[in-house]
Chain A
């Protein structure tokens, strides 16, 4: 009954590799997000998708690309991984409502680039 799920939970890989993190939500939400939390615990929004449209794209390197096959999924693809990409990546979702913003977060994926 997990609301927002991510796979894998842990990902260890070498520099230069390409990897993907999957996210699925079963809440019927129309907007999904990706956040990055670095070693200093700062949580930064990377992307959000609403009805398959990218509506927020922070200054993220183009090595990162979100892919949304449908409203329930937002996967994160990372090409040519770098050491600085090591972090915990969180997926989140919500229903866009004016005046109420409750985002539901997944458990996170800890990415370690060696």
Chain B
């Protein structure tokens, strides 16, 4: 599986929009881009997944440019409870093998 690179940490304030970018220069044709969220002392939780262009659900949006070499997770109007580690993953269309990177530690301040 191709490697992903994302910032180690980010700070934000309540009510702001947060964008976390993930680089995956060697993404394969069959790879989907998936984001997970992990709170302290809990297991990761699926946020969103996409292949190209834009995907939106009730908690986030995922923007993927045409070359698919990067992706951006957008969290609208964050709150203190969004403080967590966010992982960007690539997983092949054909299987469920997932390789977690170091993740981005997001801290939301009041």
Interface residues of A (CB under 8 A from B): 4, 31, 33, 35, 41-45, 48, 55-56, 90, 92, 94, 96, 98-108
Sample 20 A-B pairs with CB under 8 A, ordered by A number.
A31-B96, A35-B100, A43-B44, A43-B100, A45-B97, A45-B98, A90-B43, A94-B96, A96-B96, A98-B94, A99-B32, A99-B51, A100-B49, A101-B34, A103-B46, A103-B96, A103-B98, A106-B43, A108-B41, A108-B42
**Nearest chain A CB to B45 CB, angstrom units:** 7
Contacts of A106 in B (CB 8 A): 43
Q: Is the CB of A101 within 8 A of B103?
A: no
B86 interfacial contact with A, CB 8 Å: no
**Nearest chain B CB to A49 CB, angstrom units:** 11
| Nearest A residue to B100, CB-CB | A43
Q: Is the CB of A107 within 8 A of B42?
A: yes
**Nearest chain B CB to A87 CB, angstrom units:** 13
| Nearest B residue to A88, CB-CB | B41
Interface residues of B (CB under 8 A from A): 32, 34, 38, 41-46, 49, 51, 85, 87, 91, 93-100, 102-103
One of B34, B45, B95, B102 near A105 (C-beta < 8 A)? B45
Complex A-B, nearest 3 residue pairs according to Cβ-Cβ distance, in ascending order: A105-B43, A43-B100, A102-B46
Known interface pairs A101-B34, A102-B46, A107-B43. Does A42 touch B102 (Cβ–Cβ under 8 Å)?
yes
User: CA A56 – CA B97 in complex, angstroms?
Assistant: 8
Contacts of B49 in A (CB 8 A): 100-102
